[in-house]
Amino acid sequence: MHCFVKTPLNYTGNKFRLLEQIQPFFPEKINVMVDLFCGGATVGLNTNCKEVYFIDNDINVIGLLKFFQTQHFDELLIELQEIISEFGLSNSFKNGFKYYKERILDKNFNNGLKEYNKSGFYKLRDNYNQLKNKTSKEAFLKLYILLLYGFNNDLRFNSKGEFNLPVGKTDFNKTNVIKLKTYLEKIKTINAHYICADFNSDKVLKILNKADFIYLDPPYLITNATYNESNKWSNESEHKLLNLMDNLIQNNKKFVLSNVLQKKNKMNEPLYYWTEKNKEKIDIYHMHYSYSCASYNKKNREFKEDEIIVTWKRKNEN
């Protein structure tokens, strides 16, 4: 049983629970890895390699990851709790959940600490959005707290670049502290680089060229997620990704792609036709809700969601 480390960013599409199913498809030896569309950096963080590039086009995600890399846990813990206290937010890590639940009128357990934190959260959100320098230490500390206390622990910004998620149910609790501590300890043992860039940019293509393994977990074209709310990932984006995959195959790069081929009545048609066209050059595995892998020809068509793993032709591996 692997002891995987969780990222402090509860990122949409996080692959933590699938790591044991995905990693057997990785090469046994990896020198330079690229975690493309890295999100919270879960996969690259937990892969044994000499060097890893975390690449994403979300400036806030990459900013937070780079910020954490420079921090020391004990100092960070104090600074976070000072801001939490300043804005009157709950601190279950220090006082326990029950302490705060007894102090609010809403006794609905399903609402968590939403009522207690509502006022302080929106004051903090306004304060963060008014900061002129969003790359300062103060800004990253406040953004991380907004993530912890926000709805679904997500990161979402409006067209003006303002954080706009409503208050959520959770807070700074023991689980989040443990995740933060173990992440900070782990990341300091890794030769990691953080790049904020589009996956199809010249800068990224140069990095891919020198890598010997690439893991790709792009936004899923046919699923509903924060990154698709404003059509940020479109059919055009999907076709650009598939062109990139063609280049990886042409250059004999080892890669693993995670994606969703079908969800209920929706089909990712660009991906489907690409897999059909390249079936002699790739291997495809279908991951069921139990997250066990089946061969391409044994797909259970009763399943409502078809999550797949696409790899280089593994029989060609030396």
List the CATH code of the domain at 65-181. 1.10.1020.10
The sign one gets for the Cα dihedral 71, 199, 50, 176 is positive
The per-residue pLDDT string of the chain (318 residues; one tens digit each, 9 = 90 and over) reads 568 999 999 766 678 878 888 999 999 999 999 999 999 999 999 999 999 999 999 999 999 999 999 999 999 999 999 999 999 999 999 999 999 988 887 767 778 899 999 999 999 999 999 999 999 999 999 999 999 999 999 999 998 999 999 999 999 999 999 999 999 999 999 999 999 999 999 999 999 999 999 999 999 988 765 544 555 789 999 999 999 999 999 999 999 999 999 888 889 999 999 999 999 999 999 886 443 443 433 444 444 678 899 999 987 554
CB 156 within 8 A of CB 165: yes
CB 183 within 8 A of CB 7: yes
Q: Tell me the CA distances in angstroms from 135 to 32, 76, 124, 280, one per residue in order.
A: 28, 16, 17, 47
Which residues make Cβ contacts (< 8 Å) with residue 70, sequence separation at least 6? none
List the structure tokens of 179.
């995740």
Question: Given this model, what pLDDT does residue 288 score?
Answer: 61
The position carrying tokens 């984006």 is: 237
Domain spans of the chain, in order of start: 16-57+197-316, 65-181
**125 φ, ψ (degrees, to nearest 5):** -60, -45
Gap between the Cα atoms of 29 and 192, Å rounded: 17
Could you tell me the pTM of the whole model?
0.89
Question: Given this model, what pLDDT does residue 229 score?
Answer: 52
**89 φ, ψ (degrees, to nearest 5):** -90, 160
Question: Given this model, what pLDDT does residue 293 score?
Answer: 46
List the CATH code of the domain at 16-57+197-316. 3.40.50.150
pLDDT digits (tens, 9 = 90+) for 192-248: 999 999 999 999 999 999 999 999 999 998 876 554 455 578 999 999 999 999 999
pLDDT digits (tens, 9 = 90+) for 93-125: 999 999 998 888 776 777 889 999 999 999 999
Question: Given this model, what pLDDT does residue 282 score?
Answer: 97
For the stretch 157-163, contacts whose Cβ atoms lie closer than 8 Å and that sit 24 or more positions apart, written own/partner, are 157/60, 159/230, 161/134, 162/129, 163/125, 163/128, 163/129
